[in-house]
């Protein structure tokens, strides 16, 4: 019976060794998988941080361009309330796309205003030319009339 008990114990020990070996293999595989996922996670996190930083830089750049386009120099805008309101409006923009859309609208408005200014300047130049011509014609007419009156006065004397 002692032989049977020894064989049983040896079989049990062998079985336990095989289980331990299998568990160690599973543990090692799980560890490798965890390392792989950790590496992927860290790579993804780093990419997200880089993307976030690039997006923040792009937003800052676009905000600076928007400030430039809108003429947010405090010297250019005497009304500090207007500057504050514009800065608050810019601060509410939450993405690069919103900022780009706003910038396009601002540039379009700027172009429209520049065109309106050019039209107004052209109209002003035309009015000035018309008034100068009319003034010249009036002076010429007044000069002719004065010469004519002087000639009449000389003939009567």
Please give the average per-residue pLDDT across 99-111, as a whole number.
Answer: 88
Record the pTM: 0.40
Of residues 112 and 81, more confidently modeled: 112
- Predicted confidence at residue 81, as pLDDT, reads 81
The total of other beta-carbon atoms located within 10 Å of residue 99's CB is 20
Q: Which residue has the tokens 């020990």?
A: 13
User: Over the chain, what is the mean pLDDT?
Assistant: 86
What pLDDT, in 10s, does the model give residues 35-87?
Answer: 999 999 999 999 999 988 988 888 888 888 777 776 655 455 557 787 788 78
| Distances in whole angstroms, Cα of residue 148 to Cα of each of 8, 136, 138, 140, 153 | 149, 18, 15, 12, 9
Long-range contacts of 51-60 (CB under 8 A, 24+ apart): 55/96, 58/96, 59/93, 59/95, 59/96, 59/99
CA end-to-end span of the chain: 172
Residue 95: its H or E element? none
List b or e across 105-125, with b for residues whose CB sees 16 or more CB atoms inside 10 angstroms.
eeeeeeeeeeeeeeeeeeeee
Q: Of 100, 101, 68, whose CA–CA distance to 86 is shortest?
A: 68
Cα–Cα distance for residue pair 48/53, rounded to 1 Å? 8
What pLDDT, in 10s, does the model give residues 125-142?
Answer: 999 989 899 888 889 889
């Amino acid at each position: 019976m002692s032989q049977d008990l020894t064989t049983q114990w040896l079989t049990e020990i062998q079985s336990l060794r095989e289980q331990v070996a299998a568990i160690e293999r599973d543990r090692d595989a799980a560890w490798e998988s965890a390392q792989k996922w950790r590496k992927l996670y860290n790579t993804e996190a780093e990419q997200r941080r880089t993307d976030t930083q690039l997006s923040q830089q792009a937003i800052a750049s676009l905000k600076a361009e928007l400030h430039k386009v809108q003429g947010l120099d405090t010297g250019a805008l005497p009304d500090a309330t207007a500057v504050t309101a514009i800065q608050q409006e810019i601060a509410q923009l939450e993405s690069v796309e919103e900022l780009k859309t706003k910038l396009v609208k601002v540039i379009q408005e700027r172009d429209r205003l520049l065109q309106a200014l050019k039209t107004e300047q052209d109209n002003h130049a035309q009015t000035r030319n018309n008034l100068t011509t009319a003034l010249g014609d009036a002076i010429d007419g007044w000069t002719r009339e004065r010469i004519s009156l002087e000639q009449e006065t000389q003939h009567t004397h």
